[in-house]
Structure 1
Amino acid sequence: MSNLMGKLLESVDQKDIIAFAEGINGLIAVTKNVVYLQRGKLLERKSLKTYMIKSITSIQTKKPSMLAAGHFQIIASGSGDDTKRFGSAFDYAKDENTVMIRGNFDDFKKIEQLIYKLQSEPNPAVSVAQAAPTSEDAFTKLEKLAKLKEQGIISEEEFELKKKEILSQV
Structure 2
Amino acid sequence: MSEDSTPESKHVTKFKESHLESDDKVVTSVEGYIGDMMGKGDNTQHNGALIVTSKQVAFYRKGLLGEILETIPLKSITSIERRPTLRHCTIRIHTSHDDLTFKTLDKEQEAIVVKAIEDGRAIEPVSQTAPAPQNGLDTLRELNELKELGIITEEEFNAKKQTILAAI
Post-superposition offset of 1:55 = 0.6
- CA distance in 1 between counterparts of 2:58 and 2:116 reads 14
TM-superposed deviation, 1:5: 2.0
CA-CA distance at 1:11 after TM superposition = 0.9
Distance in structure 2 (CA, Å) of the matches to 1:5 and 1:33: 15
Whichever residue aligns with residue 119 of structure 1, its letter is R
Deviation sequence 1:25-55 (CA, Å, 0-9, x none) = 2211122221112146x56752111211111
Contact 2:50 2:60 in 1 (8 A): yes
Q: Which residue of 2 aligns with 1:118?
A: 120
> What is the number of equivalent residue pairs in this alignment?
110
Q: Deviations over 1:8-33 (max 9, x none)?
A: 12211597111111114221112222
Q: Residues 44 and 113 from structure 1, CA distance in 2 versus in 1: closer, same or farther, beyond 3 angstroms? A: farther
Tell me if the contact between 2:30 and 2:104 (Cα under 8 Å) persists in the aligned partners.
no
Alignment map for 1:56-67 (pairs within 5 Å): 56-66=77-87
Point out the structure with the larger strand share.
Answer: 2
Instruction: State the Cα distance separating 1:111 from its structure 2 match.
Output: 1.4
Q: Residue 32 of structure 2: which of 6, 23, 48 is its match?
A: 23
CA distance in 1, matches of 2:20, 2:95: 20
TM-score by length of 1: 0.52
Asked if 1:100 corresponds to 2:120, the answer is: no
Q: Distance in 1 between matches of 2:85 and 2:97?
A: 28
> In the TM superposition, what is the alpha-carbon distance from 1:70 to its structure 2 partner?
2.8
Query: What is the CA–CA distance in structure 2 between the aligned matches of 1:26 and 1:49, rounded to whole Å?
Result: 11
Structure with bigger RCO (C-alpha 8 Å, 6+ apart):
1
TM-score by length of 2: 0.53
- Structure 1 CA distance for aligned equivalents of residues 152 and 97 of structure 2: 23
- SS of equivalent to 1:65: coil
Residues 93-126 of structure 1, C-alpha deviation per residue, up to 9 Å, x if partnerless? Answer: xxxx222211x11211221112112222254579
Q: Equivalent residue for 2:14?
A: 7
Highest CA radius of gyration, 1 or 2?
2
Aligned-residue offset at 1:2: 3.1
Q: Give the alignment of 1:146-165 within 5 angstroms.
A: none
Identity among equivalent pairs (%): 24
**1:60 counterpart SS class:** strand
Instruction: Please list every run of 5 or more consecutive structure 2 residues that lacks an aligned counterpart in the other structure.
Output: 1-7, 34-46, 127-150, 161-168
